[in-house]
Structure 1
Amino acid sequence: MHATKDPVFLIALLSCLCLAIILLTLGLLIARTYRHVQQRQRLAFMSELEVLKKERARIAADLHDELSPKLILAYRLVEAVSENRGMGGELFPLALENLLKVSERIRGIAADLYDEMILKDGLERSIQQFISQHEMLEALRVDFRYEVKETLSDTSILHLYRIVQEMVNNTLKHSGAEDAQLKIISNGKYLSFGYRDFGTIRMDQPIDAGVGIKSLYQRVMILGANLFIDVDQGVAYYFKVPLTKLY
């Protein structure tokens, strides 16, 4: 009997063909999934680089715009005392006060750069310290509420801390608000994050056009959530992320 007319041979041949098609399809799916994962990792990496670039620019601006004037003022006060211009008993304490503020702010900026310190102190305490440092130097007062019992991953802690940093800095630079609220609350399934300032934002450009806002969108996206922004009597930011993505 001819091999091609043998039913057993035909069944075996068809089975081999089906198996080959299945293996080929599976291989294509695996390759496509691998490319997709690589693409997502690359996008996340590029987003992180953009965030780091933005943070370096922010730190440079803080050093130049915030600390430089205080140092110059302290220098002029000391100069006036040394040249017997004005009341030295009044000028010298002012110079010391400015130098103390500069020292505290530099220490705060250094702590912001030190991820290990943030992880050691924990998210709640690190945010409290960051807020208190700004309250000492600025007019802004932040009502902070933290209710999270779960242990978050190191990556999640750092992203959440940087998000708070960016929002507070946006308030100081653009809003002019004297009061703000920050709530980070867990209900056991989700972590809800809300920040609102009570100032008047400059509307000369769209709220989501700035590099700082894009940085916030990127960080929240990396956490696995979507950022919502509302402009009404100040600026409000909100996002909600499953806790399973933060462990």
Structure 2
Amino acid sequence: MKMCGKKGVALFKRILEALQKRYFTVWFLALIVLILVPNSYMHETPTQFAFSFAILVCHFWLFWTPKSLWTPLRTECVTLLIGLVTIIKALAGGSETIGLLFPLVIFVGVRMEEKRALIYATGLGLIGLLLLIKDHSFFSPHLVPFALTFIGCYVGAKGYRVQFDAYEQNQLHLEQLQKAHAQLKEAHNELQEAAVHTMQVAVLEERTRIARDLHDQLGHSLTSLIVQLHALQFMLKNGPSDAQEAVRNMLYVAKHSLEDIRGSVHTLASDQSSLGLAPLRAFLSQTEKNTGLRCKLVADDPELGLTQTISIAFYRILQEAVTNTLRHSEAGQLDVIVTQDDTHCYMCIRDDGKLTPGETIAPGFGLSSMKERVTELNGSLSYTAVEPHGFEIKVVIPYQDIA
């Protein structure tokens, strides 16, 4: 019983929602029924009244059916059919049925395009006038009220159609604006993420460069100073004791300074905390958004932990590879595969460009700079054309040789 009660309440709610969505239709049809039904009931036989009521039900169905189901051909066929039935009923049962042309012309005004609607409305109006003249006379007082009411129904229907179309257009524009806003927001977030990762990579590269410069310049200078202090210590072997003590102190300070510099440089340059795949993923996502090149990143582990040094190298190599793909290959798809084992990290970049096996590959500045970057890390880089067409770059970088 409870289940039946719940189903009944749900059904009532659905009916109520449908009535609310078709408020204008319900109000209009109720008005038509109140105007036409009493008149037909008083002046027609039960059979004629049943026929008139059936036509009213057809009109109700016309307005209740969703707009999306009314194709131009279907609208015209149904209008002709109901109009023909109404005219036959008027010819057989008197002029009371002529009032059923009012809801039909409203349907024509609401559902048909402007030119076709005007043709059908004019035809229905003329037929209605002829039926009135047939049942009464050419000078019947019913002609003018009928004509004015008929024209009013048509003009009102067209006005409603214009207003409804404008409302639908505004709703469509609003949906498009909301969709565009969501896309812009998503693109903005991705751009921010890509910018953060790019800045992070740039900072790490700059830090590595500073560490290398400190090691090469300051370390070399301190080493030279220590060598010279050793020589001075030997030269002052038989000299004053205070001079020998001063040299020993300077030598001690220089050695410890060199050790501190080396420790700082090693910490600065070999911070192996993980950047992972985030920079690569952000760069590919931004590339796909901005260029239309479909990009896909595949990894053994979505949270693959690449060291900063390898992440930077892979990021710069991928940047150069994507640039070459966009400039030269006319590719539509680019796949990046990143894997690792106990000793090495691997990256494979493959596109579906126009290059075919057997064609000569002339390494330009981009490939040369990629190879140079990998060589600095004691790794290897190879490239080749793939079947049936496309270009592939393979990068291998060892873990243990990265300082």
Task: Report the TM-score when normalising by structure 2.
Answer: 0.32
Task: Give the Å deviation of 1:137.
Answer: 1.4
Corresponding residue of 2:198: 112
In structure 2, the partner of 1:243 is: 399
Identity between Structure 1 and Structure 2 (%):
21
Match of 1:141 among 294, 308, 323: 294
Q: State the AA in 2 paired with 1:207.
A: A
Q: Which moved more, 1:107-116 or 1:177-186?
A: 107-116
Contact 2:379 2:396 in 1 (8 A): yes
Query: Is 1:207 the counterpart of 2:362 in the alignment?
Result: yes
Output aligned runs, 1:58-207, within 5 Å: 108=194, 111-115=197-201, 116=203, 122-147=275-300, 151-201=305-355, 206-207=361-362
The residue number in structure 2 matching 1:10 is: none
Distance 1:151 1:131, change over 3 A: closer
Q: Which runs of 5+ in 1 are unaligned?
A: 1-88
Greater RCO structure (CA 8 Å; 6+ sep): 1
Q: Where in structure 2 are there 5+ consecutive unaligned residues?
A: 1-172, 206-271
**Structure 1 pair 169/226, CA: closer, same or farther in 2 (3 Å)?**
same
Q: Which has the higher helix share?
A: 2
Q: Describe the shift of the 1:110–1:190 C-alpha distance in structure 2 as closer, same or farther (beyond 3 A).
A: closer
Structure 1 residue 156: Cα displacement: 2.4
Q: Give the structure with the higher percent strand.
A: 1
Tell me the alpha carbon deviations over residues 213-245 of structure 1, each in whole angstroms, 9 at most, x when there is no partner. 111111111121121110231110013232223
CA spacing shift, 1:230–1:102, aligned 2, 3 Å: same
Task: Say whether the 8 Å CA contact 1:104–1:133 is kept in structure 2.
Answer: no
Whether the 8 Å CA contact 1:174–1:201 is kept in 2: the answer is: no
What's the secondary structure of 2:366's corresponding residue? Answer: helix
Report the TM-score when normalising by structure 1: 0.50
Bigger-Rg structure (1/2):
2
Asked whether the 8 Å contact 2:276–2:306 carries over to 1, the reply is: no
Q: 1:200 to 1:110 in 2, by over 3 A?
A: farther
Paired with 1:244 and 1:120, the residues of 2 have a C-alpha distance of: 15
More displaced 10-residue stretch of structure 1: 112-121 or 226-235: 112-121
- In the alignment, the residues of structure 2 paired with residue 161 and residue 220 of structure 1 have an alpha-carbon distance, to the nearest angstrom, of 12
Q: How many equivalent pairs are there?
A: 157
Distance (whole Å) between structure 2 residues aligned to residue 141 and residue 154 of structure 1:
26
For residues 230 and 152 of structure 1, what CA distance do their matches in structure 2 show? Answer: 25
CA RMSD of aligned residues (A): 4.0
| Residues 173 and 165 of structure 1: CA distance in aligned 2, closer, same or farther (over 3 Å) | same
- The change in CA–CA distance for 1:166 and 1:123 in structure 2 (over 3 A counts) is farther
| Residue-by-residue CA offset, 1:174-213 (whole Å, 9 max, x unaligned) | 111111111110122222221110111499984313x111
